[in-house]
Amino acid sequence: MFGNPGSTELPMLAEFPDDFIYYLGLQEAVAVGMADGYAQASGRVAHVNLHTAPGVGNAMGAIFNAQANHAPLLISAGQQARELVTLQANLTNRDATRMPHPLVKNAFEPPRAADVPLAFGRAINFASLPPKGPAFVSIPMDDWDAEVDDAAIAQLLARSVDGRAAPDPKTVLALGERLAAATRPVLIAGPDIDASGGWEAAVALAEKQRLPVFAIPAPGGGRLGFPEGHPNFRGILPPAIGPVSETLAGHDLILVVGSSVFPYYPNIPGPLLPEGAALVQITSDPDEASRAPMGEAIVADVALTLAALLDACGDSDRELPNEALPPPAAGEDADPVTPTAVLNAFAEIFPSDGIVVVEAPSATLALRNQLRISAPASYYIGAGGGLGFGLAAAVGVQLAQPQRRVVCVVGEGSAQYAITALWSAAAYGAPVTFLVLRNSEYAILKWFSQIEQVEGAPGLDLPALSCVDVAKGYGVDAREVSGRDEEVEAVREALGAEEPRLVEVEVAPGMWLF
């Protein structure tokens, strides 16, 4: 259980069982962010417990991220005692189930104390059924004294729900035939390929049908859906309508798997699809299918659909039209060092089974291009774009995957939104390496200013902001380094440590695409 407690939650935490661990987040955004990372990296529902109205309020940005990430979370929150709710005693959440809307799949406050276990079971099932996401239960603090029916609890504990839906075989056969008959089909790989366990099937399909593969638009986007060092991989789609259809020009069948169509960001208008192209989306999320502005959709489990599609089409002798991506650039020799050079050096020492959690907006594309991560469950970025995911999720991912090393690559601006996650990393011995890229500005917002033709916006510079002393205050060993060589030495040492470490590198300002 992740959480931050208050008086309304103490009765729930009484006689906390030995076979549970409580991971304290010093602010609710951190508690939810850790739970999000843990849920995604473990594939299981994570429980996060929040403090009545103000705790839920603090957590809202992180709940927004968890929803975008399709992270299965049971979110519980305390509530005033039932007999004091109507007179609205202090800390009453006056509309507890409305507050987390529209960010949760279901929000509920049981009408009777005896229904609390059933309400928990219901929320857990909501969270884990597709599309996975957060579900919320509010519990009046005096409910924990109520007697429950042991037989009913035994029934609840014995339950399981499985929501993996197989696609209609006829639809898959027809798609297989269309794929084989297409002249220049292309695969667009989204985050639910990885989350559904469809990574190998996606690779096998691309190889069998000789499909060039693009990743869905970034920055943002969530997990990777395809190995980025694979010869079929062609790069990352740009994040706007016009540029996406320009990039996909010449393709006659666009197969989008495990994603919305598309996670666009800046408003750069243009045709939704290139001339002569058809689009088919495979998603387990009816909402993603419903809101797509073009194309057809199959709503079913992504991994099951990929496996069925693989069976439905034969080997193609189609030529792969383009060369594989060029090797990554090393980056300029500059002072301060460029993010490209920092990430190029990092790629040399990044362990083959390492995991990266990213929240470095102006350097995300450089990171992708330098690392070309090619293993499943190895890359996490907030799909929603709300800052505060990075540090907290990195701790949660590390707790879920103790045998792998987690590196959190983070901008010094982004780090502030969940900075107290450093304390949780130290307190629970999560040996995350935090690699802070300090450029003393909100670089991506300066880049956006150009796109949006905004001049003179205030609040885009971050002078004298360093994470090193702050990290020490939270119990994390931290050092500032300068240049490639010092960075490599410090990160290598951090990767060998048994506790969290923070390495901050001063980098050149600006936006870095490679």
Kindly state whether residue 443 participates in binding ligand TPP, applying the rule CB under 6 A: yes
Least Å from the CB of residue 2 to ligand TPP: 19
**DSSP count for the chain of H helices, then E strands:** 20, 18
Kindly state whether residue 79 participates in binding ligand TPP, applying the rule CB under 6 A: no
- Pairing of the two strands 253-257 and 278-283: parallel
Binding mask 158-197 for ligand TPP (x = CB under 6 A): ----------------------------------------
Kindly state whether residue 417 participates in binding ligand TPP, applying the rule CB under 6 A: yes
Least Å from the CB of residue 116 to ligand TPP: 32
Q: Considering beta carbons, is residue 97 or 482 the nearer one to ligand TPP? A: 482
Choosing from 224, 360, 406, 490, the residue that interacts with ligand TPP (CB under 6 A) is: 360
Kindly state whether residue 222 participates in binding ligand TPP, applying the rule CB under 6 A: no
Kindly state whether residue 221 participates in binding ligand TPP, applying the rule CB under 6 A: no
Q: Are 489 and 435 in contact (CB under 8 A)?
A: no
| CB contact set of 388 (below 8 Å; sequence gap of 6+) | 29, 30, 33, 61, 62, 65, 414, 417, 418
Kindly state whether residue 263 participates in binding ligand TPP, applying the rule CB under 6 A: no
Q: Considering beta carbons, is residue 121 or 388 the nearer one to ligand TPP? A: 388
**Taking contact as CB under 6 A, which single stretch among the options 16-24, 170-178, 285-293, 441-449 is the one that binds ligand TPP?**
441-449
Name the burial class of residue 189, with classes exposed (0-12), middle (13-18) and buried (19+) by CB atoms within 10 angstroms of its CB.
Answer: buried
Least Å from the CB of residue 291 to ligand TPP: 21
- Pairing of the two strands 233-236 and 185-189: unpaired
Q: What is the DSSP string of 416-462?
A: GGGTTHHHHHHHTT---EEEEEE-SB-HHHHHHHHHTT--S-SS-B-
Kindly state whether residue 218 participates in binding ligand TPP, applying the rule CB under 6 A: no
Using Cβ positions, the residue closest to ligand TPP within the complex turns out to be 411
Binding mask 380-409 for ligand TPP (x = CB under 6 A): -----xxxx---------------------
**Taking contact as CB under 6 A, which single stretch among the options 153-161, 204-212, 227-235, 443-451 is the one that binds ligand TPP?**
443-451
Long-range contacts of 166-169, Cβ-Cβ distance < 8 Å, separation of 24 or more: 166/300, 166/301, 166/304, 166/305, 166/308, 167/282, 167/298, 167/300, 167/301, 167/304, 167/305, 167/308, 168/298, 168/300, 169/308
Q: Are 340 and 332 in contact (CB under 8 A)?
A: yes
- Within 10 angstroms of residue 287's Cβ, the number of other Cβ atoms is 12
**Taking contact as CB under 6 A, which single stretch among the options 2-10, 234-242, 292-300, 438-446 is the one that binds ligand TPP?**
438-446
Q: Are 255 and 282 in contact (CB under 8 A)?
A: yes
Q: Considering beta carbons, is residue 201 or 408 the nearer one to ligand TPP? A: 408
Least Å from the CB of residue 65 to ligand TPP: 9
Name the burial class of residue 458, with classes exposed (0-12), middle (13-18) and buried (19+) by CB atoms within 10 angstroms of its CB.
Answer: exposed
* Distance between CA atoms of residues 455 and 391, nearest Å: 31
Q: Considering beta carbons, is residue 306 or 410 the nearer one to ligand TPP? A: 410
Closest CA to 500 of 435, 426, 415: 426
Least Å from the CB of residue 504 to ligand TPP: 12
Kindly state whether residue 439 participates in binding ligand TPP, applying the rule CB under 6 A: yes
Q: Considering beta carbons, is residue 204 or 460 the nearer one to ligand TPP? A: 460
Kindly state whether residue 239 participates in binding ligand TPP, applying the rule CB under 6 A: no
Kindly state whether residue 61 participates in binding ligand TPP, applying the rule CB under 6 A: yes
Choosing from 24, 156, 278, 445, the residue that interacts with ligand TPP (CB under 6 A) is: 445
Binding mask 120-159 for ligand TPP (x = CB under 6 A): ----------------------------------------
Name which of residues 326 to 345 contact ligand TPP (CB under 6 A): none
* Distance between CA atoms of residues 76 and 9, nearest Å: 9
Q: What is the DSSP string of 226-263?
A: S-TTSTTEEEE--SSHHHHHHHTTT-SEEEEESS-S--
Least Å from the CB of residue 362 to ligand TPP: 3
Residue type, 495: L
* Residue positions counted in the chain: 514
**Packing angle between helix 389-400 and helix 28-42, nearest 10 degrees?**
40
Least Å from the CB of residue 74 to ligand TPP: 23
Least Å from the CB of residue 412 to ligand TPP: 5
Number of residues that bind ligand TPP (CB under 6 A): 20
Backbone dihedral angles phi then psi of residue 48, each to the nearest 5 degrees: -125, 130
Choosing from 130, 133, 185, 361, the residue that interacts with ligand TPP (CB under 6 A) is: 361
Name which of residues 283 to 302 contact ligand TPP (CB under 6 A): none
Kindly state whether residue 441 participates in binding ligand TPP, applying the rule CB under 6 A: yes
- Within 10 angstroms of residue 157's Cβ, the number of other Cβ atoms is 10
Least Å from the CB of residue 231 to ligand TPP: 30
What residue ranges bind ligand TPP (CB under 6 A)? Answer: 61, 360-363, 385-388, 411-414, 417, 439, 441-445
